[in-house]
Structure 1
Amino acid sequence: MSGAVEQNRRIALAKLFEPRRLTLPRGITSVCSAHPLVIEAALRRAAREGQVVLLEATCNQVNQEGGYTGMTPADFRRFVEHIAETIAFPVEHIILGGDHLGPNPWRTLAADEAMARAEVMIVCYVEAGFEKLHLDTSMGCAGEPPALPDEVTAARAARLAKAAEDAAKRAGRKLPVYIIGTEVPPPGGATHALNELEITRPEAVLETLAVHRSAFAAAGVEPALARVIGIVVQPGVEFGNTNVALYKPDGATDLISALDKMPGLLFEAHSTDYQPAAELSALVDGGSGILKVGPGLTFALREALYGLDAIRQALAGRGASAALSSVLEDVMVANPGYWSGHYAGTAEEQRLQRHFSYSDRIRYYWLDKKASEAVESLFAELPEQIPETLISQYLGRLYPEVIAGRVSPSARALCLAAIDTALAPYSAATAPR
C-alpha cells in the first residue's frame, strides 16, 4: 500500500469519527443489521475495545414507510439507543449510517415518484441524526434499464445530497458525510453462483468522482463534495447463496492505485461477509477503510439458534416442542416475498436455501410474531446452565470459550458469542497497529 493510500484512508476516517474520535483505527466495521442481538453484540465488542461503533440501517429495513422492520429512522435511533442504555454503552460513541439510500424500495415506480420518496426518506434519516449517508441511485426504476449511465446516477445522488444538506441545516443537525458510487453491489449479496467477478477499473472510479463533482456543482451542493469520504467499488469480494468469492489483493492492484489520485477518499467495501481475517486485513491495506457486514452476522445467529434448538430436542426427547426450523419454514412459505426472487432450483434446493443460504434471507423473518415467539419459547425451555457436552456437540465453535469461562453456557449468551465470533475477524482487520 502506498503512503498516499494510507493517508487518504486516515483523512476520510477522521471526517467520519469527528468529533468523537478515541483512537483512530486502520478502518471501521459497518454493522448493517436491525436484529437486537446483533446490535447488542456489536456494542459489547466496541465497549471492550474502547472504540466507536458504526451501525447502519438499509433503505429496505428502515424508511419513512417503516420498511420490513416497521421502523422509521427515528424509531431505529430510539431502538439502538435503548439497547445501548440497557448495557451502559455511551450513545455518543455510536455513529448511525443509512445504507443504499435511494429509490431502491420504490424502483417499480416511475423514476420521478421513486426519487421523490427517496428524498423524503433521506430527510427523515438526517432529521433523526444519521451522520453517514450512502447515496445509491445506481438502479433503474420503472421503464429504465437495470443499470443507469453514470451521469444519471450522479445527478440523482446530488439531488439526494441537496435534500440532506437542506434538512440538516433546517434541523440544526451536523452536516453528514457521504459515500458515493456507480458500481454498487446489490444489497444482501448476489443472487447467482459466483464464478469470476469484474473488478472496478481505476478509470471508472476516477470517472465516478468526476461526474459526481459536476453533478454536485450543478445542484448547488458543491460544499458537500468535501464531505464525501468514500466510493463504493467492486474489489473482488462477494457472496452468493452457496459460495463466497475471497479477496485477492493482486487482482485489485490497479484499482487501489486510483486512490493515489483521489486525496482524502477511501473505498467502502460491500458484501465482505464470510471473508477471513487475512482477506479483510488485505482489503483495509488496499484502502477499503469501511468494511460492511450484515448477513454474515445473522447467519451466525441462525447457526446458534438452530444449534440451541438441537440441544432442546436432545434434552426433551420425545416431548420436545416443534423444531424451530419447522416454525420458520412455515413462516417463510406463508410469506415468500423476501426470498422467492433470490432462491432458484428445485423445491428441495429452495428449502435448503431458505435456511442455510449465505445470503441469509431468513433474517427478514426473525421479527415475525410467530418466529419471535418460537425463539422466546426456545430460550424459556432451555436450562440456565446448558450442559457443556451438548454445547460441544451442537455449538462446537463456542465450546472452548465456554469451558474457559469466557462465555456463559446460557442460550442468550451463546447467541451473542456466536455473533461476536463473526465480528472478531473485522476487529483484527481494522484495529490500530
Structure 2
Amino acid sequence: MTHPIKEILSKRHDGISSGIASYCTSNKIVIESILEYYLEKDEYVLIECTANQVNQFGGYMNMTPSDFRDYVYNIADKIGFSREKIILGADHFGPLTWTDKSEKEAMDNAKELVKLAVLAGYTKIHLDTSMFLASDDTSKRLSDEIIAERGAILYKVCEEAFDERIKEYPDSIHPVYVIGSEVPIPGGEYEEKNTLEVTNPTDFENTINAYDRIFKEYGLDDAWNNIIAVVVQPGVEFSNEDVHDYDRTQAIDLCEKLKEYPNLVFEGHSTDYQFSFKLKEMVEDGVAILKVGPAVTYALREALFSLSLMEKELVEDKANFIDVLEENMLKNPKDWEKYYTGSELEKKLARKYSFSDRCRYYMAQDEINASIDKLFENIDSCDISLGMIKQYLPNAYNKIRSGNLSKNAENLVKSNIKDIIKDYDYAIDN
C-alpha cells in the first residue's frame, strides 16, 4: 500500500495544490476535536508527538512511543474514528532530548527512540540531528556532513526496525521521512526585535547534497524513495506576543529552488496563528506539510477561560479553572519560567495569554482535569442565555443561532478548537 502522505503529495505532480496538516499535540480534548472534525470528511489525520513529549524514558507525557500510540487509538475508538485513517508521526526524533550527552550516548538513545517509534507503527518520522551535542565543538557551525551522517545512521535504524515490524505485521505501511530542522530550535521562539530569515536556497541545497553523499557512502541508495520533505524556515514564527506572518515574496527564491526536486516538499513548523489564506499560500508555494500545536491548545485554553468567566456569574460552587491553572503553574514553574520574562505582571499575563501557550504542559495534570470536569458540569447545569454566549464565545453564538451547535460545555470548547482546524483544512483542501 502506498503511504497516504505520498498519495496526497503525488497530486502536486498533476498541478494540484495538495498538502496535509500535522497536528502536534497530546491533549485529549484537542485530539478528540481533530478526529471529530475529520470523521465527517473521511480523511487521513496526521498526529505527531515530539521527542520531548514521548521517548523511551517517558518524556514529559510519561509515555513511550507505543503508549502514545495506544493513547491516540483509544481516543479514536471512543468517537468511532478508524485507526487506519490515523498517521502517527514522530517530530524532532533524534538526539534532541540528550544534547547534554556525548555523541555516542546521545545517538545511542536516539537510535533506540526511532527504533521504538517504527516498531510501534509510526509511519512519518522527522529525523532531526541538527543540534549540538556535548562532545561537539560549539565554536564553529555544525557541519552539514555531521548532521547528514547522524541522520543517515538513524534512517538505517528505522529501516531495520521496519524490516523487523513487517515480519509480525505484514500489512504495515512503509514509513516516510522528513529531514532538516527549522530555526530556531524546537521550543524556542524568535525575538520580536530580530528579523526572521527565510532559509537560504543554497543552505537547502547543501542539506540535500550532504545527505545524498552520506546515503551513498552508507549504501542507502534508495533512501530518497522514502524521504518526502525537508524542514525549512519559510518565514513563519511566533513569539509570546507577536506573529511573523508568511510573506511569499520573501520565500520566492527558496520555493523556486524546490522545483528542482519534484519528489520533495517543504515541511513548515510553527505555522500557528497564521491567517488561513496565508496557510493556503504556503501550501501553494510548496510548504505542503503544515505543523501546528500551540494554536490548537491556545484555542482550548481560550474557550475554557470563557466558560470560567461565565461560571463566575452563574453558580456558587465554582470550579475556578483560571485560578487553579495559575496556582499549578506557580507551584511547578519549570515549564514556563525560562520562556516568560519581565515584571511579575508581565509574567502573569504571559502565563495566561502567551502565544507560546506554555499552559499546555499543565493540562494533563489531575487537578487541572478535575477542574475542567467540574467547569463542564457547572456550565451544563445552567441554561446559558444566547446573549452571554455571544459575549464570551461569539463564533459559537453564530453556530448555535444557525442550528449547528448545542450549548453543551464540551461542544462549545471543541467548537473553538475546530475553528483553528478549519483554517488548516481550508489551506490543504484542493
8 Å CA contact retained: 1:169, 1:175: no
- Label 1:127 to 1:17 Cα distance change in 2 as closer, same or farther (>3 A): farther
8 Å CA contact retained: 1:239, 1:273: yes
8 Å CA contact retained: 2:17, 2:284: no
| Uncovered stretches (5+) of structure 1, i.e. residues with no partner | 1-10, 19-23
8 Å CA contact retained: 2:20, 2:288: yes
- The Cα of 1:158 is off from its aligned counterpart by 0.9
- Label 1:322 to 1:86 Cα distance change in 2 as closer, same or farther (>3 A): closer
Aligned partner letter, 1:112:
K
Matches of residues 402-413 of structure 1 in structure 2 within 5 Å? 402-413=400-411
Matches of residues 255-404 of structure 1 in structure 2 within 5 Å? 255-316=254-315, 319-321=316-318, 323-384=320-381, 385-404=383-402
Provide the secondary structure at the position in 2 that maps to 1:343: coil
8 Å CA contact retained: 1:193, 1:241: no
Which range is displaced more, 379-388 or 298-307?
A: 379-388
- The Cα of 1:189 is off from its aligned counterpart by 4.9
Provide the secondary structure at the position in 1 that maps to 2:289: strand
8 Å CA contact retained: 1:134, 1:179: yes
Counterpart Cα distance in 1 of 2:218 and 2:385 = 63
- The Cα of 1:397 is off from its aligned counterpart by 2.5
1:119 alignment counterpart: 111
Q: Does 1:192 align with 2:191?
A: yes
- Label 1:423 to 1:199 Cα distance change in 2 as closer, same or farther (>3 A): same
Counterpart Cα distance in 2 of 1:25 and 1:261 = 17
Aligned partner letter, 2:131:
M
Matches of residues 23-42 of structure 1 in structure 2 within 5 Å? 26-42=18-34
- Label 1:17 to 1:62 Cα distance change in 2 as closer, same or farther (>3 A): farther
**Aligned pair partner of 2:44 in 52, 65, 69:** 52
TM-score by length of 1: 0.91
Counterpart Cα distance in 1 of 2:362 and 2:328 = 7
Provide the secondary structure at the position in 1 that maps to 2:178: strand
- The Cα of 1:214 is off from its aligned counterpart by 1.5
- The Cα of 1:37 is off from its aligned counterpart by 1.2
1:156 alignment counterpart: 150
**Aligned pair partner of 2:124 in 103, 118, 132:** 132
Which range is displaced more, 245-254 or 366-375?
A: 366-375
Which range is displaced more, 212-221 or 359-368?
A: 212-221
Provide the secondary structure at the position in 2 that maps to 1:268: strand
Which range is displaced more, 396-405 or 236-245?
A: 396-405
Which range is displaced more, 237-246 or 62-71?
A: 62-71
Counterpart Cα distance in 1 of 2:96 and 2:82 = 33
| Uncovered stretches (5+) of structure 2, i.e. residues with no partner | 11-15, 167-171
- The Cα of 1:241 is off from its aligned counterpart by 0.6
Matches of residues 205-216 of structure 1 in structure 2 within 5 Å? 205-216=204-215
Query: What is the number of residues matched between the two proteins?
Result: 415
Which runs of structure 1 show a deviation greater than 4 angstroms over 4 or more consecutive aligned residues?
Answer: 15-18
1:107 alignment counterpart: 99
- The Cα of 1:224 is off from its aligned counterpart by 2.3
**Aligned pair partner of 1:62 in 54, 60, 76:** 54
- Label 1:56 to 1:217 Cα distance change in 2 as closer, same or farther (>3 A): same
Counterpart Cα distance in 2 of 1:217 and 1:13 = 25
Deviations 1:90-142 (A, max 9, x none): 11111111001111112122222111111111111101100000011111122
- The Cα of 1:201 is off from its aligned counterpart by 1.0
Counterpart Cα distance in 2 of 1:63 and 1:386 = 43
- Label 1:12 to 1:309 Cα distance change in 2 as closer, same or farther (>3 A): closer
- The Cα of 1:194 is off from its aligned counterpart by 5.5
Deviations 1:199-228 (A, max 9, x none): 111111111101011122233333223211
1:229 alignment counterpart: 228
8 Å CA contact retained: 1:194, 1:240: no
8 Å CA contact retained: 1:182, 1:208: no
Aligned partner letter, 2:394:
G
Provide the secondary structure at the position in 2 that maps to 1:49: coil
Aligned partner letter, 1:330:
E
Q: State the percentage of identical aligned residues.
A: 40
- The Cα of 1:155 is off from its aligned counterpart by 1.0
Which range is displaced more, 198-207 or 216-225?
A: 216-225
- The Cα of 1:14 is off from its aligned counterpart by 2.5
Deviations 1:385-424 (A, max 9, x none): 5332221111122210122121111110011111100111
- The Cα of 1:348 is off from its aligned counterpart by 1.6
Aligned partner letter, 1:87:
I
- The Cα of 1:157 is off from its aligned counterpart by 0.9
1:239 alignment counterpart: 238
Counterpart Cα distance in 1 of 2:351 and 2:117 = 31
Which range is displaced more, 352-361 or 217-226?
A: 217-226
Aligned partner letter, 1:80:
V
Counterpart Cα distance in 1 of 2:98 and 2:204 = 27
- The Cα of 1:321 is off from its aligned counterpart by 2.7
TM-score by length of 2: 0.92
Counterpart Cα distance in 2 of 1:276 and 1:94 = 26
Which range is displaced more, 181-190 or 332-341?
A: 181-190
RMSD between superposed Cα atoms in Å: 2.0
- Label 1:17 to 1:57 Cα distance change in 2 as closer, same or farther (>3 A): farther
- The Cα of 1:16 is off from its aligned counterpart by 6.7
Counterpart Cα distance in 2 of 1:17 and 1:82 = 28
Q: Does 1:167 align with 2:161?
A: yes
